Structure 1
Amino acid sequence: MKLLEERIRKDGQVRPGNVLKVDCFLNHQLDVELLDEIGAEFKRIFGKEGVNKILTIEASGIAIACMTARHFDVPVVFAKKAKSKNIDGDVFTSKVQSYTYGKEYEITLAKKFLGPEDRVLILDDFLANGKAMRGLLDVCKQAGATVVGIGVCIEKGFQNGGQELRDEGYKLASLAIVDRMEDDGTLVFRPQE
């Protein structure tokens, strides 16, 4: 998605350790118009998959999922990174290793929100090694839900998460794939197909 690539080039910041900061428009301060365009693009890509539920993980994926859900007219459900006292009933859980925070945590999702009748589109802001995505896929498997697609705003193509998911047969759409990041701020994007 050229619009997203242009915004990353304009406002993204490359930090040491292959960290790409896009907090001024995607995952801290939100550019709602850009998010709406992202949602429309995910609808274009996955619109024929029979999506009836969008799943993401808190916190950065929620805005992306909500704006996309408007285009699909379906609910959003998100996995929580900490089990809170206000989650009632049975839950699905999975362990996730965070690349950004360098720690493992357990995600939880109330069983009443995901089941075998669901055709799920999983969305997130970033895909690097795919650990968060693995946790969401595990939750879908536990629920008996069908994953009909995975949408990611920014994929770090120089890390293995995206290729592994594609090799496993998942329909994965990354709107911008960064093939290389240099400490001087240089970003090299994979050409759009």
Structure 2
Amino acid sequence: MQALQQKIREEGIVLSDQVLKVDAFLNHQIDPALMQLIGDEFARLFADAGITKIVTIEASGIAPAVMTGLRLGVPVIFARKHQSLTLTENLLTASVYSFTKQTENTVAISPRHLSSSDRVLVIDDFLANGKASQALISIIKQAGATVAGIGIVIEKSFQGGRAELDSQGYRVESLARVKSLEGGVVSFI
């Protein structure tokens, strides 16, 4: 997706050979026009997949997930990282390690929002080692629902997340595939 790659080139900041900071438009400040284009593209890519729900993890996946849900006309569920007084009943949970934050969190979704008849699209901001996607897949399977696909805004292709998801037979669609961050320069596949 050219608009996304251009935005990464212009406003992304390479912090190391492993970390790309995109807080100017994706995960701190959000560019609504770009999110609309991202939602349009995911909706186009998964138009024939029979999606009934979209699942993401708070907070960075919410904007692209909502825009995709708007285009597909389906609800968006976000897995919460923090306990809530209103989210207590027999939760669907999974543990996820954040490469960027170097922390492990338990994420949770109420079972009221997912059922065995759902065909779920996972949307996330980044794919690195695949831990967030694997946690969401676990939750979706706990509900007896089907993972219809995984939409990733930015994939760090030099890390192993895609290979793991591919080996498990999941359809993965990434809008920007980063080949390398070496020398402070973003190069794309």
The answer to whether TM tops 0.5 is yes
Q: Deviations for 1:7-51, whole angstroms, at most 9, x for unmatched residues?
A: 100110000251101111111111101000000000110000000
Q: Which runs of 4+ in 1 moved over 3 A?
A: none
Q: Which runs of 5+ in 2 are unaligned?
A: none
The residue number in structure 2 matching 1:163 is 163
Displacement of 1:105 after TM fit?
1.1
Matched, 1:189 2:188: yes
Aligned to 2:49: 49
Shift of 1:166: 1.3
Q: 1:76 maps to what in 2?
A: 76
TM-score by length of 1: 0.95
1:94-105 matches, within 5 Å, as: 94-105=94-105
Normalising to structure 2: TM-score of the pair? 0.97
CA contact (8 A) 2:17 2:180 kept: no
Gaps of 5+ in 1: none
> Post-superposition shift, 1:173?
0.2
Between the aligned partners of 2:89 and 2:21, the Cα distance in structure 1 is 37
Q: CA deviation at 1:127?
A: 0.4
CA RMSD of aligned residues (A): 0.9
SS of match in other structure, 2:159: coil
- In the other structure, the counterpart of 2:114 is 114
Deviations 1:129-157 (A, max 9, x none): 00111100000110011010100000000
Letter in 2 for 1:188: S
Equivalent runs, 1:104-183 vs 2, <5 Å: 104-183=104-183
Sequence identity, in percent? 49
Q: Deviations over 1:49-90 (max 9, x none)?
A: 000100000010011111111100110001001221121422
User: What is the rounded CA distance, in whole Å, between the counterparts of 1:187 and 1:61 in structure 2?
Assistant: 21
Whole-Å separation in 2 of the counterparts to 1:187 and 1:172: 21
